[in-house]
Amino acid sequence: MNNKEKILNIANSNGGVVLTKQVTAAKIPRSTLTDLVNVGILFPVQRGIYVTENGYIDDFYLLQARYPKGVYSHETALYLQNFSDRAPVVPTMTFKYGTSTTRMKGEVKPVIVSKDLDLGKIEIMHNGSKITAYNIERTLVDLLKTRYNTDFEQFIPALKKYATSKNKDINKLFRYAQYFGVDIELQKYIGGLL
């Protein structure tokens, strides 16, 4: 298998999308990407991201590729996990303290945490692409934190849907709530639903 075929294999296994960092990790010269662009097999979408003619690029995947240290959270995570039908106008992502957010203005609504960035982080499939988000339990708990201005028109229906879900993990939800100090607040909302 030559380098061009290897790149196309990477793209085919990723919904028609290939990243420069994937090519580098596979120890394939980047000039091969340029060759595939020049003959019209790959098309550049943004810096470091290429797509085949039949490939599909999801906006959430593009943002994740642009800000790989971010984790989709809050109302955006509700939407991505089908706990809300309201697509975010500006997606919310959580980043570790110290991350520069100045170039994200308007593209992403950044939330900064000093610790526990990885707690509840999962990979989900969205429109054929893998993206990183918080699990539903962490998402619901994050929405109750006092420093976040929660949209309760999205939170309450999501909590009701969670309460009737077959995949709910109430123990995990309350562990997260206790860990983040919102267990009393959560009890107010979920008490009558269980």
The residue among 125 and 57 whose pLDDT is bigger is 125
What pLDDT is recorded for position 32?
A: 92
Q: What is the CATH number of domain 3-56?
A: 1.10.10
Q: Where are the domains of the chain?
A: 3-56, 60-193
Which pLDDT band, with edges at 50, 70 and 90, does 148 fall under? confident
What pLDDT is recorded for position 130?
A: 84
Q: List, in sequence order, every residue forming a beta bridge with 17; answer none if it has no partner.
A: 51
What pLDDT is recorded for position 149?
A: 83
What pLDDT is recorded for position 178?
A: 95
Q: For residue 162, count other CB atoms closer than 10 A to its CB.
A: 22
H-helix or E-strand spanning residue 133: strand 129-134
- Under 8 Å CB-to-CB from 30, ≥6 apart: which residues? 20, 23, 24
Angle at 58 between CA 54 and CA 61, to 5 degrees: 120
Does the structure show a pLDDT above 60 at 156?
yes
What pLDDT is recorded for position 188?
A: 87
State pLDDT tens for residues 157-185.
999 999 999 999 999 999 999 999 999 99
* 42 φ, ψ (degrees, to nearest 5): -115, 150
State pLDDT tens for residues 185-194.
999 888 766 5
Does the structure show a pLDDT above 90 at 81?
yes
Which residue from 50, 96, 100 is spatially nearest to 73, judged by alpha carbons? Answer: 96
What pLDDT is recorded for position 192?
A: 67
Decide if 120 contacts 134 (C-beta within 8 A): yes
What pLDDT is recorded for position 24?
A: 92
Q: How far is it, in rounded angstroms, from Cα 138 to Cα 134?
A: 6
Q: What is the rounded average pLDDT for all residues in the chain?
A: 90
What pLDDT is recorded for position 46?
A: 84
For residue 97 the two structure tokens come to 């303290």
Q: List, in sequence order, every residue forming a beta bridge with 51; answer none if it has no partner.
A: 17, 43
What pLDDT is recorded for position 166?
A: 92
Amino acid of residue 98? G
Q: For residue 86, count other CB atoms closer than 10 A to its CB.
A: 12
State pLDDT tens for residues 82-138.
999 999 999 999 999 999 888 888 899 999 998 899 999 999 988 877 899 999 999
